[in-house]
Structure 1
Amino acid sequence: MSVSMLAILGAAVAIITALLLARPLNQTSTDDLRRRFGPEFDRAVAQHQGDTAAAERELSERLRRFGSLRVKGLDTPARERYGSEWAELQERFTEAPGQTVARANALLNRLAVERGFPAESRERQADALSLHCPRHAHGSRELHEAAQRAAAGETDTEAMRRAMLAGHELFYDLLMPRPQDRRADALAGHARPHRPFGLPTQRSAHTTRH
Structure 2
Amino acid sequence: MSTDPSLTTTSYGILGLLAIRPWSTYELARGMDRNLGRIWPRAQSKLYEEPKKLVRHGLAEATKEAVGRRPRTVYAITAEGRLALADWLREPGAGPVLESEQLLKVFFADSGTTADALANLRAARAWAEERNQENLSAARAYVAGQAQFQERAAQTQLVGRFLTDYYRLVATWADWATALVQQWPDNPADAAPDPTEMAETLRRANWNAPPNG
Fold similarity call, TM over 0.5 = no
Q: TM-score, normalised by structure 2?
A: 0.26
Higher relative contact order, chain-length normalized (CA < 8 Å, sep 6+): 1
Structure having the higher strand fraction is: 2
Structure having the higher helix fraction is: 1
Q: TM-score, normalised by structure 1?
A: 0.26
